Structure 1
């Protein structure tokens, strides 16, 4: 086990996955997303080298607070508090991210695309940056399986800006899947470590 393989790091990366799918669902059904939440998810895409998972989300858990809360209701709640769309998207994203890690060409394509985005020198949530990240998702990932089909209101899904933001958020989710795998996260661990993840999420959630 490497130093990054801690339950805390796995919990943070898992929260990153849940936050990105929550953003996708929110955009697809309401056309809106919380700006701070979106910035936290997108920022992680451009953080390629980090020994601490928290640094990928800006150095504190405020920017993935939503992800931590959703993770608690998904893993720890009763069946009423669970959201089936969120669960479906999260599992598909984990599978897709795992498939990407086994595909060297795609990994290289993403690495090049992300370093290009890093050199754009603009705020992470500027329209040009979001559009750039969405195009990277479209060109390197959208043809891979499983394809993530986000359901929602056709008016929002057919709106270019909203559709681009959803793709950028999915790319952020995949970044979290990669972090999660690098920290030793796996599907079986998700079952066996559920209580530990919940405890850790409780400790990490900012209480305002």
Structure 2
């Protein structure tokens, strides 16, 4: 895989898209089926041929690319600030996770079990989602900093919704891993926002044409 602004932008779009779905589930109780499919596919695709292949194509990241544009344009509406906070925390967790090879192995084993299960059912089957949710609960959720998901208690305490939230958080970690692998860092995020925003806008324009 190449190491470029395009690759980093795609990885970041995957991260923002997953974080936005966490917010939507917690506040509205629903998620986009296509984005859930993209999230699960990204978790399972651990040996991709390209950054784009992780998500099944850049057209699967339109929502995340739009979010990059909104946030980097400094529109500080509360919903966007909350999504950004989820992204920042997921990036911090991924940095901690990178220092824990045993936990990485545990996550890999759990994902492989879920992948095998998906072959018998489907990637978005309740059994598969439950398995991926358990992977997150038993590993990443035990680390610091903790992700505090804000929303309606009726949704947060609903087992099916909570499962999907954890799956999207795991997908967020997958995208954060990809961001780092493609040369992403705290400094690139801080000082390279304009280049990332331009790249996201260019990709969206290309999709429209």
Q: Deviations over 1:177-201 (max 9, x none)?
A: 0001000000110122111101111
Unaligned runs of 5+ in 2: none
Per the TM alignment, residue 134 of structure 1 is displaced from its structure 2 partner at its CA by 0.3
Query: Between Structure 1 and Structure 2, how many residues are aligned?
Result: 205
Q: Give every structure 1 segment of 4 or more consecutive aligned residues whose post-TM-superposition deviation is greater than 4 Å.
A: none
Match of 2:140 in 1: 141
Match of 1:46 in 2: 44
Per the TM alignment, residue 82 of structure 1 is displaced from its structure 2 partner at its CA by 6.8
Match of 1:181 in 2: 180
Give me the TM-score of the superposition, normalised by structure 1. Answer: 0.94
Choose which of 65, 79, 82 in structure 1 pairs with 2:62. 65
Give me the TM-score of the superposition, normalised by structure 2. Answer: 0.93
Structure 1 or 2: larger helix share? 2
| Structure 2: distance between partners of 1:83 and 1:187 | 19
Choose which of 79, 103, 106 in structure 2 pairs with 1:106. 103
| Structure 2: distance between partners of 1:138 and 1:23 | 18
1:73–1:81: 8 Å Cα contact kept in structure 2? no
| Structure 1: distance between partners of 2:37 and 2:193 | 27
Unaligned runs of 5+ in 1: none
Match of 1:126 in 2: 125
